[in-house]
Amino acid sequence: MAVVTMRQLLESGVHFGHQTRRWNPKMKRFILTERNGIYIIDLEKTVQDIERTYDFVKETVAHGGTILFVGTKKQAQETIVEQATRVGMPYVTERWLGGMLTNFSTVHKRLQRLKELELVDFDDVASSGLTKKELLMMSREKEKLDRTLGGIRNMNKVPSAIWIVDTKKEHLAVAEAQKLNIPVVAILDTNCDPDEVDYRIPGNDDAIRSVSLLTRVVADAVAAGKIQRSGGEAATEEEPMPEWEREMLAKADAHDAAVAAQDAEAAPVQADAEAAPAQTEPSEAPVEPAEVAEPAADAQTEPAAEETPAESTDQA
């Protein structure tokens, strides 16, 4: 079954590129045609690349990997948070901090600081041993760290791969990933450089519906990888089952229920059939004495027939 259909891509506007004057010549092989000054992306190639990307993400997560979701533009922020949270993956939706990957040891220290501040009760001034001003400063520090690093608070090492919406805007994240040889998975619009991306999905990275659809596909791949890693067990809330798998499971349950109902209807009929011979066997047993008594009756009638001629001779 296809990960995503051509109709879904068309309805989400994935095929719309940028204006013809804003393009990267390296993207020419992914462009189908031009309409009203806008490039149209070849969705057949998009579907092929989605399948390839889906398999890569699934296998990466199945082997214990982590996917970092990155999208700081307004069109992507809400979707990135929703899908990354759904599958329990780290995400970045605010400004990308320089060194977030290449200097992760320092970033990890800031994450530890954030966790320490989360344990502080800023409303209890008396027992904290701090002044109101000190608590206020710490509260502001916590808010800043939570805003910039809150999405990666549970990331203890650099990710295995990184999902990016708009590589032009997230050029710092792309550069750091390339330095560390971290695979880059991204949406490629007609103004992007395909050489910067390891696993590409040609498509519209500006429309909200397009970004939502493609990010959901990547999140579904993460969920499938987690299910495979756990040995095929049913998905939990943190590891949701894709919609197509839920439909297959529902059909299987309906089939099993129908078979069970047929077995339940056949059980009383079979029980009656087994009970019928047991009821007829006792009634046949008394018949045998009647059959044995028939010769005795014949023996009594035969002498009567012999006496009849004797009586007739006496009368004569």
Same domain, 93 and 110: no
- The mean pLDDT of 217-239, rounded to a whole number, is 76
Say which amino acid occupies 215: T
- The mean pLDDT of 267-283, rounded to a whole number, is 54
CA atoms within 13 A on the CB side of 227: 19
Same domain, 242 and 171: yes
Examine the fold and report which residue of 249, 264, 299 is the final residue of a domain before the chain moves on: 249
Same domain, 71 and 109: no
Q: Are 101 and 197 in contact (CB under 8 A)?
A: no
Measure the CA–CA gap between 255 and 147, rounded to whole angstroms: 49
Percentage of residues in the chain with pLDDT exceeding 70?
Answer: 75
Is residue 291 a part of any domain in this protein? Answer: no
Segment 22-60, tens digit of pLDDT: 888 999 999 999 899 899 999 999 999 999 999 999 999
Say which amino acid occupies 228: Q
Q: Which residues contact 39 (CB under 8 A, 6 or more apart)?
A: 17, 18, 19, 20, 23, 31, 33, 190
- The mean pLDDT of 174-194, rounded to a whole number, is 94
Please state the length of the chain. Answer: 316
Model confidence at 239, pLDDT cuts 50, 70, 90, reads: very low
Q: What angle do CA 137, 95, 70 make, to 5 degrees?
A: 130
Q: Which two tokens stand for residue 79?
A: 């979707």
The CATH code of the domain that includes 165 is 3.40.50.10490
Q: Are 160 and 66 in contact (CB under 8 A)?
A: yes
Phi, psi values for residue 160, rounded to 5°: -80, -30
Q: What angle do CA 56, 201, 150 make, to 5 degrees?
A: 75
Total domains in the chain come to 2
Q: Which 8-state DSSP code applies to residue 196?
A: G
Measure the CA–CA gap between 79 and 214, rounded to whole angstroms: 10
CA atoms within 13 A on the CB side of 196: 25
- The mean pLDDT of 64-71, rounded to a whole number, is 95
> Which of 16-20, 33-37, 172-176, 239-243 is predicted with the least confidence, judged by mean pLDDT?
239-243
Q: Are 238 and 257 in contact (CB under 8 A)?
A: no
Same domain, 53 and 168: yes
Angle between helices 208-229 and 43-62 (to 10 degrees): 30
Is residue 178 a part of any domain in this protein? Answer: yes
Examine the fold and report which residue of 157, 181, 201 is the final residue of a domain before the chain moves on: 157
Same domain, 153 and 90: no
Is residue 258 a part of any domain in this protein? Answer: no
Same domain, 213 and 135: no
Is residue 267 a part of any domain in this protein? Answer: no
> Which of 37-51, 56-70, 90-104, 240-254 is predicted with the least confidence, judged by mean pLDDT?
240-254
Examine the fold and report which residue of 233, 249, 265 is the final residue of a domain before the chain moves on: 249
Higher-pLDDT residue of 260 and 301 is 260
Same domain, 145 and 193: no
Query: Is 0.75 surpassed by the pTM of this model?
Result: no
Is residue 16 a part of any domain in this protein? Answer: yes
Domain enclosing residue 193, as ranges: 6-101+158-249
Same domain, 130 and 215: no
Same domain, 78 and 18: yes
Model confidence at 299, pLDDT cuts 50, 70, 90, reads: very low
Is residue 194 a part of any domain in this protein? Answer: yes
Is residue 277 a part of any domain in this protein? Answer: no
Same domain, 53 and 148: no
Same domain, 210 and 118: no
Same domain, 171 and 93: yes
Model confidence at 135, pLDDT cuts 50, 70, 90, reads: confident
Query: Among 89, 77, 78, which Cα is nearest to 170's?
Result: 77
Is residue 315 a part of any domain in this protein? Answer: no
> Which of 108-122, 259-273, 293-307 is predicted with the least confidence, judged by mean pLDDT?
293-307
